[in-house]
Amino acid sequence: MEITNVSEYQAIAKQKLPKMVYDYYASGAEDQWTLEENRNAFSRILFRPRILIDVSKIDMTTTVLGFKISMPIMIAPTAMQKMAHPEGEYATARAASAAGTIMTLSSWATSSVEEVASTGPGIRFFQLYVYKDRHVVAQLVRRAERAGFKAIALTVDTPRLGRREADIKNRFTLPPFLTLKNFEGLDLGKMDKADDSGLASYVAGQIDRSLSWKDVQWLQTITKLPILVKGVLTAEDARLSIQAGAAGIIVSNHGARQLDYVPATIMALEEVVKAAQGRVPVFVDGGVRRGTDVFKALALGASGIFIGRPVVFSLAAEGETGVRKVLQMLRDEFELTMALSGCRSLKEITRDHIFTDWDLPHPRPLPRL
Domain architecture of the chain: domains with CATH:
6-356 (3.20.20.70)
Residue 359: its pLDDT value, please?
81
Contact 77, 111 (CB under 8 A): no
What is the crossing angle of helices 309-341 and 8-16, to 10°?
Answer: 170
Q: Is 151 helix (H, G, I), strand (E, B) or coil?
A: strand
Residue 185: its pLDDT value, please?
76
**CA 35, CA 41: separation in Å to the nearest integer?**
10
Residue 369: its pLDDT value, please?
61
**CA 108, CA 78: separation in Å to the nearest integer?**
8
Q: Is 219 helix (H, G, I), strand (E, B) or coil?
A: helix
Contact 244, 217 (CB under 8 A): yes
**CA 117, CA 163: separation in Å to the nearest integer?**
33
- Look up residue 308 and give its amino acid: G
Whole-model pTM: value is 0.95
Question: Is 309 flagged in the annotation as binding?
Answer: yes
Residue 367: its pLDDT value, please?
59
Half-sphere exposure of 294 (CA within 13 A, CB side): 25
- Look up residue 202 and give its amino acid: Y
Residue 184: its pLDDT value, please?
85
Q: Is 30 helix (H, G, I), strand (E, B) or coil?
A: coil
Residue 203: its pLDDT value, please?
67
Question: Is 229 flagged in the annotation as binding?
Answer: no
CA angle 354, 356, 360 (to 5 degrees): 115
Question: Is 21 flagged in the annotation as binding?
Answer: no
362 catalytic? Reply is no
288: left (phi over 0), alpha (psi -120 to 50) or beta: beta
Contact 128, 107 (CB under 8 A): yes
Q: Is 366 helix (H, G, I), strand (E, B) or coil?
A: coil
E strands within 136-275? 151-155, 227-232, 248-251
Residue 198: its pLDDT value, please?
67
Decide: residue 144, CB within 10 A, 0-12 exposed, 13-18 middle, 19+ buried. buried
Q: Which residues of the chain carry a pLDDT beneath 70?
A: 187-195, 198, 200, 203, 360-369
Question: Is 308 flagged in the annotation as binding?
Answer: yes
Question: Is 129 flagged in the annotation as binding?
Answer: yes
Exposure string (b/e) for 299-320, b if CB count within 10 Å is 16 or more? bbbbbbbbbbbbbbbbbbbbbb
Question: Is 181 flagged in the annotation as binding?
Answer: no
**CA 367, CA 369: separation in Å to the nearest integer?**
6
Residue 1: its pLDDT value, please?
82
- Which DSSP symbol is given to 218? H
Q: Give the number of other Cβ atoms within 10 Å of residue 256's Cβ.
A: 28
Question: Is 289 flagged in the annotation as binding?
Answer: yes
Which among 85, 135, 254, 362 is annotated as catalytic?
254
Contact 282, 302 (CB under 8 A): yes
Question: Is 290 flagged in the annotation as binding?
Answer: no
Question: Is 24 flagged in the annotation as binding?
Answer: yes
- Which DSSP symbol is given to 52? S
